[in-house]
Structure 1
Amino acid sequence: MIERIHLAILYEIECQGSLTAAANALCLTQSALSHSIRKLESQLGTPLWTKDGRGLRLTQSGQYLLGVARRVLPQLNVAQEQLQQYARGERGTLRIGMECHPCYRWLLKIVAPYLTTWPDVDVDVKQKFQFGGIGALFAYEIDLLVTPDPLHKPGLLFAPVFDYEQVLVVAHAHPLAARDFIEPGELLSQTLITYPVTPERLDVFAQFLTPAGVSPRRHKTIETTDIMLQMVASQRGVAALPRWLAEEFASKLDITTVRLGQSGISKQIHLGAREEDMQTPYLQAFIELARRHQI
């Protein structure tokens, strides 16, 4: 069987010009080098070199194998270096799962500097999981989960990265716009626009409406933030979003924010990962960058 050492021997003999110099370059004795090649010649059933005076001359078989060595050895060297980078956590693909629709805008602000800092690491963002975000972590579908609702399980760790407030977004001309805060009953007559997420996973329901036994007059779902807020600005409904996100659009659209309840709804975004992966350098670097990049 042809092994890497055989290719390396032929390559070094060609480069160094002698058995002795090739053996030194490969940290082998000359006898070990010769024995290795004789054994390969026996297995192949053909000589790879012949003596030419005091030197050696590659046979036709040897010339062919030298050509293979010139092509293959650089590829093997690159592969070895890249595998070592994987082992050191310097190369790979960071698969990020999203359980927070509005966080895409925040994520984009993190990904750009991250890719610059880690040029050998790719980023892939996933939203739809076969078993939900936690299940996707356990199933190795994703490596990092962005979520406002961490579910602490053995084998998983969650790192808080930033705080925010969930607020009601209304048009400037809306009757609720002048209020400092609203009570759940004031949404009985409203069309509430949300992302296409089940109500039990929406904070405006879970922490505001449902505990009060209140439902909006109509619940409408829209996937994109831009269209959702265009609808709000046109007084086609109201929306519950993070304050930081609403304020990004407030300079472009005729919208304002109102607190949900007198105390408001405080939330926190977490990044979750498998405990075994938390020390992976490129994953750890993403979490640290996210913590520094406050909204």
Structure 2
Amino acid sequence: MRLDLADLHLFLCVADAGSITQGAARANLALASVSARLRSIEADAGIALLERHPRGVITTEAGEALAHHARLMLRQQALLKGELQDFATGTRGTLHLYTNTAALTEFLPSRLAPWLADRPRLHVELKERTSSDIVRTVAAGLTEAGIVSDAIDAHGLQLQPVAKDRLALIAPAGHPLAHRSKVHFAEVLDESFVGLAAGSALQDHIEEHARAAGRSLTLRIRMKTFEGLCEMVAHGVGLGIVPQCVASRYRRRHGYRTIALADDWAHRHLCLCFRDWETLSSPMQSLLVHLGARTGP
């Protein structure tokens, strides 16, 4: 049988109406066209599907079987159409968003939560990377978008600032630097540090700048969380470098000192990074607009 979905819909219109005339009206088709199409369906099936009477039609046993399966297939089509629409509008599927540490821990949670809560069938996979890695990945077309620092060279890509991201040095209250309001990174490269766990994009970023200065950081211990890092610093284990907002959050609890980093790379903005707005998927566009993207000129 070569029945298509239009055939099944037409047959159900007639079967449910109990009349070819009324079925044609339900299907918004001409009576002659419907009659011809029904004869073609029966010829293709090789069996009578309708019993025609002066007052209408009734389905044969074969017609009842066809009507049963037609309802299942059309119901499945409606479910499929709904699911595809969900994907198209960003309410279903999986989005991959690459992000640096500051965005992952400080910027995204409060902003992403309400957007994702309104889309219960959508999944977001966040991948923590350094800003330079994210720029390379987006430029290569391996992901649609990311969140990076504006300190990175993103030639050929769109960068749209959405939040400030200043880095600060934290030191124990009794440290010789504790009275300073500002230091350059080069001044503290001989000090011991408390770092973030291996794989942290922020820690990799800091160590890249140490290597650029011809040095390497002395890390006494690595912590998985910012709070753990701050607590270690407060106890005199070493210095730390964290986002300014993190330093402010835990300073009262742990009693360390916060010192501004004077280096340009420490004065940053978090930026949405993508190649071309028109090539982004509809779900990604929706997410980036929610995060603060500007879509106009």
Partner amino acid, structure 2, of 1:111: L
- What is residue 182 of structure 1 aligned with on the other side? 183
Corresponding position of 2:128: 127
Contact 2:197 2:223 in 1 (8 A): yes
* DSSP 3-state at the match of 1:177: coil
Between the aligned partners of 1:81 and 1:200, the Cα distance in structure 2 is: 41
CA drift of 1:124 comes to 2.3
State the AA in 2 paired with 1:59. Answer: T
For the structure 1 residues 210 and 135, does the alpha-carbon distance in structure 2 shift closer, same or farther, using more than 3 Å as the test? closer
| Match of residue 42 from structure 1 | 43
Cα pair 2:277 2:285 within 8 Å, conserved: no
Moved more, 103-112 or 76-85: 76-85
Q: CA deviation at 1:110?
A: 1.1
Letter in 1 for 2:232: M
Give the corresponding residue for 2:104.
Answer: 103
Percent identical residues:
21
Distance in 1 of aligned mates of 2:99 and 2:112? 14
Give the aligned residue type for 1:254: G
Residues in 1 aligned to 2:53 and 2:89: alpha-carbon distance in whole angstroms: 47
Check whether the contact 1:150–1:272 (CA below 8 A) recurs between aligned residues. Answer: no
Give CA deviations for 1:190-230 in whole Å, capped at 9, x if unaligned: 234245359998454455x4555444444654343233223
Q: Provide the rounded CA distance (Å) in 2 between the counterparts of 1:140 and 1:73.
A: 38
**Residue 278 (structure 1) shift:** 5.9
Contact 1:49-1:62 at 8 Å conserved across structures = yes
Cα 1:264/1:258, change in 2 over 3 Å: farther
CA contact (8 A) 1:193 1:237 kept: no
**Cα root mean square deviation, aligned:** 3.4
Assess, with a 3 A threshold, how the Cα gap between structure 1 residues 132 and 67 changes in structure 2: closer, same or farther. Answer: farther
1:128 positional shift: 6.7
Q: Equivalent residue of 1:175, what SS?
A: coil
The CA distance in 1 between the partners of 2:84 and 2:34, in whole Å, is 27
1:152 match? 154
Residues 139, 217 of structure 1: CA spacing in aligned structure 2 closer, same or farther, 3 A cutoff? closer
Tell me if the contact between 2:100 and 2:201 (Cα under 8 Å) persists in the aligned partners. no
Shift of 1:175: 3.2
Say whether 1:14 aligns with 2:22. no
Does structure 2 conserve the Cα–Cα contact (< 8 Å) formed by 1:144 and 1:272?
A: yes
**Structure 2: how far apart are the matches of 1:181 and 1:93?**
43
Q: Cα distance 1:136–1:66, how it changes in 2: closer, same or farther (>3 A)?
A: farther
Seen in structure 2, the aligned counterparts of structure 1 residues 87 and 197 have a Cα distance that, compared at 3 Å, is closer
- Report the counterpart of residue 195 of structure 2 in structure 1: 193
How far apart, in 2, do the equivalents of 1:273 and 1:257 lie? 34
Deviations 1:89-124, CA, capped at 9 Å, x for gaps: 565433211233563232111111112445564322
Q: Matches of 2:228 and 2:20 in 1, distance apart?
A: 73
- The answer to whether 1:113 aligns with 2:114 is yes
- 1:178-257 mapped onto 2 (5 Å cutoff): 178-183=179-184, 184-196=186-198, 202-207=204-209, 209-210=210-211, 212-218=213-219, 220-257=221-258
Distance 1:88 1:53 in 2: 49
Contact 2:112 2:291 survives alignment (8 Å): no
How far apart, in 1, do the equivalents of 2:249 and 2:67 lie? 63
Deviations 1:36-78 (A, max 9, x none): 2322222222222122443212112211111112222233123
The aligned residue for residue 70 of structure 2 is 69
Once the two structures are overlaid, the 10-residue window that deviates more, 94-103 or 37-46, is: 94-103
Q: Distance in 2 between matches of 1:73 and 1:106?
A: 45
Q: Which moved more, 1:91-100 or 1:21-30?
A: 91-100
Residues 82, 217 of structure 1: CA spacing in aligned structure 2 closer, same or farther, 3 A cutoff? closer
- Aligned mates of 1:246, 1:53 — CA distance in 2: 86
Contact 1:165/1:242, CA 8 A, preserved across alignment: yes
Q: Name the counterpart of 2:270.
A: 269
SS in 2 for 1:69: helix
Whole-Å Cα distance in 2 between the matches of residues 102 and 50 of structure 1?
Answer: 68
SS in 2 for 1:178: coil
CA distance in 2, matches of 1:90, 1:38: 43
- Asked whether the equivalents of residues 194 and 219 of structure 1 are also in contact (C-alpha less than 8 Å), the reply is no
Paired residues of 1:101 and 1:195 also in contact (CA < 8 A): no
* Partner Cα distance (1:36, 1:126) in 2: 55
Q: Is the 8 A contact 2:226 2:246 kept in 1?
A: no
